Amino acid sequence: MKFVIDDWYSAHRKDEIIMEYKGVFTPELISNLLDVSESKLDEVATPSKIRKKIYNSLVEGLQNLFHHSCKDNVDNQGAVFGAVLLIKIGESFKLILGNYTKSDNERFLTDRIEQINSLSKDELKQLYKMILNNKEFSEKGGGGLGMIDIARKTGSKYEYSFFPVEKGYIFFELMININ
């Protein structure tokens, strides 16, 4: 079945939506999404400890999405095109991120996520410190530190899927549970 981002997006629009967006991403837009999320989270009166973890995951997740999306596939016409939803389910939160990337990245992303998912809190801390203190730091945004940081702070395992799009592209879905 052909992947259609609108269908994917609709399927995730349930429970209590705190913040949602589908379209072109720019640094300014990311700032706006962060502002909106922050004031909405204040309204739902979640403990500040959880609010901070959500905000932190949003910052890292959105900046990762922006820096690592490909800009040249069918839907986006030269811009970063993707989607984000922040959903409240009971007392828990789910952050859903989706973006297009080259099919070649599937293996790398799978390995990276599986590695992070396999590590304990203490192992994540050691890995974080090792990468932080390493001079060979990715110019693009931190040598994968963002993914490690989210896992470390939320203490939850990533859920993820890949959907084939066309012409060597896939849609990458990443879900983060925060509670």
Partner 1 sequence: MESIVRDGTQKTPSIEFDAEAGKIEIKGRSIPENSIEFYNPLIAWLEEYSNNAKPTTEVNIQLEYFNTSSSKCILDVFKKLEVIAKAGSDVKVNWFYEEDDEDMLEAGEDYQSIIKLPFKMIEIEE
Residues in contact with partner 1 by the rule CB under 8 A:
27, 30-31, 34-35, 48-49, 52-53, 55-56, 59-60, 63, 66-67, 125, 128-129, 132-133, 137, 141-142, 145-146, 148-149, 153
Any residues with CB less than 8 A from the CB of 22 and at least 6 apart, and which?
Answer: 5, 6, 9, 82, 83, 84
Q: Which is nearer to partner 1, 24 or 59 (CB)?
A: 59
CB of 26 to partner 1, least distance (A): 10
The per-residue DSSP string of 94-145 comes to EEEEEEEEETTHHHHHHHHHHHHHHS-HHHHHHHHHHHHT-S---TTTSTTH
Nearer to partner 1, 19 or 145 (CB): 145
Q: Which two tokens stand for residue 46?
A: 């979640």
Across the chain, the runs of DSSP E, i.e. the strands, are 16-25, 80-89, 92-102, 159-164, 169-178
What is d(CA 153, CA 119) in angstroms, rounded to the nearest whole number?
A: 13
Of 55 and 162, the one with the shorter C-beta distance to partner 1 is 55
Q: Which residues share a beta bridge with 163? A: 171
Question: What is the smallest separation between the CB atom of 29 and partner 1, expressed in angstroms?
Answer: 12
To the nearest whole angstrom, how small is the minimum distance from the Cβ of residue 152 to partner 1? 8
Nearer to partner 1, 91 or 139 (CB): 139
Which residue number, 15 or 123, has a Cβ lying nearer to partner 1?
A: 123
Q: How far is the CB of 53 from partner 1 (least distance, A)?
A: 7
Contact 62, 84 (CB under 8 A): yes
Least separation in angstroms between CB 112 and partner 1? 14
Nearest alpha carbon to residue 123 among 161, 155, 89:
155
